[in-house]
Amino acid sequence: MSTDIAARLERLAARLPIAYPGPGGAIAVLRHGEVLLRHAWGYANAERRIAFTPRSLFRVCSITKQFTCATLLASCPDPEVLAPALRARLPQLDAMLPSIAQLCHNQSGLRDYWAVAMLLGAGAEDGFADAEAARVIGTTRSTHFAPGARYSYCNQNFRLLSDLLEAHTGSGFASLLRRHVLDPAGMETALLAADTRAMPDGTEGYEGSVATGFRPAVNRILWTGDAGLGASLDDMIAWERWIDATRDDPESLYARLRAPVAFADGTPASYGFGLDRPTEFGHALSAHSGALRGWRSHRLHLAAERISVVVLFNHMADPQAAAHEALAALLDRVRPAADSSLPTPPWLGAYVEPETGLLARIEAGPPGELRLRFTAGPDRLLLAPDGTARGGRVMLRPEGGALALERTGENLRTILHPVASAEPARGGAAALAGRYRCDELDAELTIADTGSVAYGAWSGPLGTGRMEQLDPAGADLWLLPCPRALDVAPPGDWTLAAQRDESGAIAGLRVGCWLARGLDYVRRA
């Protein structure tokens, strides 16, 4: 390692605890199989004064998905042998059954079960174990797009994979994971830590901020193939070194995980086998983040350059940003800055995307930037001289007097429809108030008029949700906030679109968010 690189990484190690403050964290940077930086700081458990070290166990959460797919590929040469068992897990599904590969690529069209759980009345801190998971998955009747047509993040795709592997092999997923991946990779202390209430070594996850203080996060859900892996920084270093050591073998597990994938129409897909495939600084990456209340992680790998970065935070700072800082330090690169001289375009405002029925809000950011609110979190877009706004795999483009949205990662290219002003709907809150039922979910939405302001809440087999104030977003459109889901971040605000009868009265609502859309609620009272 050159002295310049060593100095940059040393500065990075000193900066991270200040730039991303919280109880503790860890980072590793590797190149050509050599560990260039292995650093931990702070506390794994602040109350018990347990230091955070490279050996502290950590919930890597959704980074688990690539390990689940690796276990699948190692134990089933033809993964589609699991398809008959998948049908048995989805007995009420009227739509086309997704393939096993489409589960691996988040192309199944199934609605995410953490999002659907909120519609069923689950509380953010409720218990959610095997019985609740079986209830949500087993009663699925439809998909929100045809399998293979689009990408949509869906945790139970990977829960299904681990369940199907157990049924097919007769072995528990923990032992399959150990036999096929963890032991070969030398991940000595890694384990399936499915119960999110505690880690075996006492490592704790925290919520809060420097201003409010940090407190242990409360988790009561059960994860398996979707996000259940526990691993230390040293375990993750072993994974990255194993990937590098087997890089020339086309049949190695990671080579198979990185194999090109496509949508049903042949369009190349940028997510497959539990790995995202973005670019950064012009380099192709394979990467994934993980998050649970109190835990956030990110890993990335540049195969051509033989570079890996792993960041683990036991608090809610942004590990992806930290990992990209590390990559920039290693490559001595700077991310492109916004061009502050470019004028703010005239097409800010609210739109409806016609296929999904979701609201797209375009807002001004700092000079030269926009914010697009469409999925679970905002997209940062940089204005370009050609009149477009771009960020990652998202682009907004004026087109013949209309506004086009391209989200290539989701295989979505569409024309946005402007929303009429957000003036109160006909009849105001009183016209909207009532009880609405979704027969597909066996669940209800209650909307109350509390004096010209509408509040709404979900209820169903998993409980009775809390009332939240509705935000009028346009003519016959409202947003119902979801401040917290079961795992970590909200799935995105719920868009409620009124459906009126011949008399003009609201007869029903079409409900959706990015993770779970196209659900019809009929007015019952």
Q: Tens digits of per-residue pLDDT, 334-363?
A: 988 899 999 999 999 999 999 999 999 999
Closest Cα partner for 86 from 68, 104, 64?
A: 104
Closest Cα partner for 139 from 365, 403, 441?
A: 441
Sign of the torsion formed by the C-alpha atoms of 113, 119, 123 and 129: negative
Choosing from 2, 56, 65, 340, which is the catalytic residue?
Answer: 65
Q: Is residue 65 flagged as an active site residue?
A: yes
pTM given for the model = 0.96
Fold annotation for 349-418:
Lipocalin (2.40.128)
From CA 208, how far away is CA 215, in angstroms rounded? 6
From CA 508, how far away is CA 359, in angstroms rounded? 18
- Domain positions in the chain are 3-109+145-313, 349-418, 428-523
Compute CA distances 507 → 293, 359, 366, 459, 467, whole Å. 38, 20, 41, 19, 21
User: What is the predicted pLDDT for the residue at 6?
Assistant: 93
Choosing from 62, 99, 232, 297, which is the catalytic residue?
Answer: 62
User: What is the predicted pLDDT for the residue at 471?
Assistant: 92
Q: What is the mean pLDDT for each group of 10 consecutive residues in the chain (525 residues)?
A: 90 97 98 98 98 98 98 96 96 96 98 94 91 95 97 96 97 98 98 94 96 95 96 98 97 97 98 97 96 96 98 97 97 91 95 95 96 92 96 95 96 95 64 96 96 93 95 91 77 90 95 95 94
- The percent of residues above 90 in pLDDT, for the chain, comes to 90
Span 428-523 CATH architecture: Beta Barrel (2.40)
Q: Which H helix or E strand runs over 402?
A: strand 402-407
Q: What DSSP string describes 430-493?
A: HHH-EEEEETTTTEEEEEEESSS-EEEEEEETTEEPPPEE-EEEETTEEEE-----SSSS---P
Residue-wise pLDDT for 177-189, tens only, equals 999 999 999 999 9
- What dotted CATH number matches 3-109+145-313? 3.40.710.10
Residue-wise pLDDT for 111-130, tens only, equals 999 999 999 999 888 999 99
On the question of a common fold for 349-418 and 428-523, the answer reads: yes
Helix (H, G, I), strand (E, B) or coil at 379: strand
